[in-house]
Amino acid sequence: MMALAENRYGKSRIRLVRVKRHPERHDFAEWMLEILLRGDFERCFTDGDNSKILATDTMKNTVYSLARDSSAASMEEFGKELIDFLLRRNPQVSQAEVSISEKAWEHLVTGGKPHPTTFVQTSSERGTTRVTRSQGGKFSVTSGLENLVIMKTAGSGFEGYIQDALTTLPPTADRLFGTALRAGWKYSADRVAFVPSRAKIRGVLLAVFAGHESKSVQHTLYAMGEAVLESVAEVEEIELTMPNLHCLLVDLSRFGQDNPNEIFVPTDEPHGYIEARIRRNG
């Protein structure tokens, strides 16, 4: 005998651009949203009964309609508004989850000042958030960033690792250290100043990456996560993923030249892949 196990459904890749038109400037945001619902949907699967199903097209339209009147200043706040709306109107839904990613648009600087209505996409970095709430429950908010590409040309080495018959990598006390950082941090409360908190966390991550005397990617990853927890009280835990974007030193000796750690070949396949979650004790 069979029984339906866990299930959920929703709408993915809902694209939204929102312009807030203030008298002195405009604010521009580009988001990608995903909505996932859990609830009393068993008869849809087993009997083809759609009477408790909210159409995914309706979810898409809800995003646009809610965005029109929303006062949310952050992805996190909009996610909370959207979940409240969906749970209030759909008692058959036991839990709603909204994930949002944001492209990196900023005001164009011209003449030394930000232009009030012109924007530039500054990098491939994306901000992220995942907001979840069950009927009658509290919000869970995990925010983050992805594809923050960073590189340092000093203060990094890799020595003292296992050397065996298959080892070809030479130890070094001076190497290039690049990564495409992905970070996700879980808040201990759902009422947080999300925009300044995000800026502070990002700043801490970058400052530690730049200043840390790295003995390995793992060593720097832990120092970055530890610094965030020490600096931002409302963060409960943080997960960091740091693939190693290698730059391989070119052997110029066959051309009668030296290479004092200046000429490299960049390669990202295959690459080292390091991740860890750092949390508070007690």
pLDDT per 10-residue tile (average), the chain, 282 residues: 90 97 96 97 95 98 97 96 98 98 97 96 96 97 98 97 95 95 96 96 98 98 98 97 94 96 92 96 78
Active-site entry in 11, 80, 186, 212: 11
- Closest by alpha carbon to 31, among 42, 40, 23, 19? 19
So what's the pLDDT on residue 4?
Answer: 87
138 is catalytic: no
Cα gap 48→42, rounded to integer Å: 9
Residue 87 φ/ψ, nearest 5 degrees: -70, -35
Considering the segment(s) 148-279 as one domain, its CATH architecture is Roll (3.10)
CB 37 within 8 A of CB 8: yes
Active-site entry in 60, 80, 212, 246: 246
So what's the pLDDT on residue 107?
Answer: 97
Domain ranges of the chain: 9-138, 148-279
Q: Where would I find the H helices in 108-263?
A: 194-211, 217-231
Inter-CA distances, 66 with 71, 73, 85, 117, Å: 10, 13, 9, 24
Active-site entry in 56, 200, 219, 271: 56
What are residue 103's DSSP bridge partners?
Answer: 126
Instruction: Let me know if the fold of 9-138 is the same as that of 148-279.
Output: yes
**Residue entry with tokens 């009147």:** 69
Cα gap 237→141, rounded to integer Å: 11
So what's the pLDDT on residue 1?
Answer: 84
11 is catalytic: yes
CB 259 within 8 A of CB 251: yes
CB 122 within 8 A of CB 91: no
56 is catalytic: yes
Looking at CATH, the fold of the domain delimited by 9-138 is given as: Urate Oxidase (3.10.270)
- Closest by alpha carbon to 96, among 109, 81, 112, 116? 81
So what's the pLDDT on residue 7?
Answer: 93
Residue 164 φ/ψ, nearest 5 degrees: -135, -170
| Edge-to-edge order in the sheet of strand 235-243 | 9-21, 26-39, 93-110, 113-134, 140-152, 177-187, 235-243, 273-279
